Structure 1
Amino acid sequence: MSAHTRLRRSAAVALVSALTTGSALLLTACDPEGESTASATTAAPNATAPATSGGSASAGPAKGGSLNKTAGTGLTVSTGTGTVLMDGRSVDFGTVVRDLAWSPDGKHAAFVDGNGNLQTADPDGSHKTLIAKAPSGVTWSHPTWQVTSKDDYDEGRNNLIFTADDHGTLRLLGVAAKAGSTPAVLRLGSYGDEDSKPVPQTANQWPSSTGAHGTIVYANQTEGQVYIRDDYLRQQGGPVTKGSQPAADDQGDLVFVRSVGGHDHIFARANDEARQERDLTPDATVDYTEPVISHNGQTVAFRGPDGVYTLPAKGGKPEKVTDTVGLPAYRS
């Protein structure tokens, strides 16, 4: 896969219109939380650190031995604890960090804290900002940054898009990435074609923003489909392929999860005329989930039952890079 600095409008249209078949995979409302191994963290979470202040954060070497190959890769792993594996080290954020995602420039992290609220912070865990508080009984998960520049067609934005589970009803919400903002249900539209099926407004989750124009891919739990939403094309969007847990690069190439033979596999789908889909883990005998793509489009990282793995985006043998089990993300 190749990463581009700007997502072409024609590529987005082609991605929306292409439908493929496959086996549906249903997700839970929240990301599964892995526990970091005792050898992977060196600093315990600071439960007393203020959630919205710029507290200090400590960092120490991660003791992963030969299985700690994240240094210099831009890969980070959040585990639902107070520490984040980053550049071969374990960084103490001073608060629980779930579902960590990075701004496109890598200068800010967004995550769900131990109280279920949405926060941002600097990469060392300092300058934490409480963006919004989740209502009682509502579970927020998997934020993603939607950052665009102002131009003739785009007003420019700095938003966070995430999933809200309101007593079993899943919706995508959006909120400005600044303190005290109020989330709103994300508007989902479709092509004006009279034969097109309405885009489902509920059972949506796992948003992932990509490209210079803030295109979003997400999954629908009920249909087992990956969908696309594109502000630049006036909310036009629709189903792309069967699967779940999608992520995309700036060109619109996708990675996602699909069930094969009783196990979750990582698939890639090229955004070109052929729309070829490839099983990147055809020999999987365990479940592989939560794929992400490096910024240069060359590497896919994903979660296994015993750690985080990577492989070339064009295919190859998975390599375990850390025995810390958690959600992978690329900061750079």
Structure 2
Amino acid sequence: MSARTRLRTAAVALALVATAGSSALLTACGPVADTGSEAAPATPGARSASPGPAGSPGPAGTTAPVSPLGLTATTPSTAAPAGTGAPGTAPAVADGTAHSALTISNGTRYVLMNGTSVDFGTAVRDLAWSPDGARAAFITGSGDLATANPDGSGRVVVARNPGGQTWSHPTWQVAPAAGEYQLPAKNNLIFAAAKDGVTRLKRVTATAAGAVPADLALGTYADENAKPLPETGNTWPSAGGTYGTAVYANTGTGEVYIRDEYLRQQGSALTPGSQPALSPDGEDIVFVRAVDGHDHIFALTDHGSRSKDLTPHATTDYTEPVFSPDGRTIAVRTPSGIATLPADGSAAPTVVSGHPGLPAYRGGHR
């Protein structure tokens, strides 16, 4: 069964249960590089999407940073490939990321990857990688949406925060054109924007510069009993699959939703939970749900008709799950670091890094 058919079948079935019981790739104007630079937060480690004040350490790459993670840091100005360390120095080993596609960010300007710490020249919040691993998307210390190369260079402000808003958790919506259905290719960034306590999902072309994001349309599956989907309270989007399918959570209903763009835009509630992650092929969904005082990682199984606890014996909180590029492994955040577990739940989580932060996987990792 195809990814779209499987998830749509699940969405329709679960939508009925819930009811009973309760654009084309746009040509951007010339890239505008973000030459600003923000200082690392005074207290590294907390993952926050709240815009912070910009510091003044000078243009990116002109300082000689000392990573708060205790690791050798490369800077954008050195143009050193990620993982090689600063020129003339041996890269420090960052457990869990060496020889791995796993990356860890913690709200500072430093990102752990390839066994070293890379200086992005600005605070990096809610980092997410493009499917091919060529670009990173994140929220800067100024609250803007930006992209950059894996070594922190080539930073572009895709959309500038107009002020009074908190942007968070960007995800890449990338899909090839489907000529047989007259569907254009997609290369977008979807993220959450909070203003005056109201959160909505936004979308902007990933190759834009200084663009104004648009509200993301949310419509239900064609069903006479389907309830209108909530337009506010939506957060934590995660996209994947051939057609740019996305999942997201709603803080008001406490449920995970699917947004389907196959032929036309449709969607539905799937299951109670938060912080969902869609596998790269769009076939599987994992999410967070509280059980007996701890946050557990769940997966939708049996074509989305059942929720399976992947961490039934949890004695700590497992949050912010993300799939590896091959969809076989899930990385999660814990209070003490990063753990990984098989996506099928066949083994308990194993701590792979003592560095707390937000896990992400870089597709196309070399």
**TM over 0.5: same fold?**
yes
What's the offset of the Cα at 1:252?
Answer: 2.3
Look up the match of 2:251: 221
Q: State which of 170, 188, 199 in structure 2 corresponds to 1:159.
A: 188
Look up the match of 1:98: 125
Look up the match of 1:10: 5
Letter in 2 for 1:303: R
- Mapped to 1, the partners of 2:10 and 2:226 lie a distance apart of 15
Aligned residues: 304
Offset from partner CA, 1:123-158 (integer Å, 9 cap, x none): 111111111111211000000001111122211121
Kindly indicate whether the alpha-carbon contact (under 8 Å) linking 1:40 and 1:324 is maintained by their aligned counterparts in 2: no
Letter in 1 for 2:200: R
Change (3 A) 1:234 1:63: same
Higher RCO (C-alpha 8 Å, min separation 6): 1
Change (3 A) 1:138 1:7: farther
What's the offset of the Cα at 1:15?
Answer: 3.0
Change (3 A) 1:57 1:280: farther
Look up the match of 2:269: 239
Q: State which of 338, 349, 354 in structure 2 corresponds to 1:318.
A: 349
- Mapped to 2, the partners of 1:39 and 1:185 lie a distance apart of 37
Q: SS at the partner of 2:73?
A: coil
Q: SS at the partner of 2:6?
A: helix
- Mapped to 2, the partners of 1:125 and 1:87 lie a distance apart of 14
Kindly indicate whether the alpha-carbon contact (under 8 Å) linking 1:265 and 1:281 is maintained by their aligned counterparts in 2: yes
Q: TM-score, normalising length from structure 1? A: 0.86
Look up the match of 1:121: 148
What's the offset of the Cα at 1:43?
Answer: 2.9
- Mapped to 2, the partners of 1:251 and 1:131 lie a distance apart of 25
Change (3 A) 1:243 1:32: farther
- Mapped to 2, the partners of 1:307 and 1:188 lie a distance apart of 35
Letter in 1 for 2:203: G
Q: SS at the partner of 1:285?
A: coil
Q: CA RMSD in A?
A: 2.2
Look up the match of 2:203: 174
What's the offset of the Cα at 1:81?
Answer: 0.5
- Mapped to 2, the partners of 1:282 and 1:165 lie a distance apart of 33
- Mapped to 1, the partners of 2:243 and 2:123 lie a distance apart of 31
- Mapped to 1, the partners of 2:304 and 2:247 lie a distance apart of 20
Look up the match of 1:33: 47
Gaps spanning 5+ residues in structure 2: where?
Answer: 19-44, 49-66, 86-90
Q: Which moved more, 1:7-16 or 1:275-284?
A: 7-16
Kindly indicate whether the alpha-carbon contact (under 8 Å) linking 1:40 and 1:63 is maintained by their aligned counterparts in 2: no
Q: SS at the partner of 1:296?
A: coil
Look up the match of 2:24: none
Q: State which of 291, 308, 333 in structure 2 corresponds to 1:278.
A: 308
Letter in 1 for 2:7: A
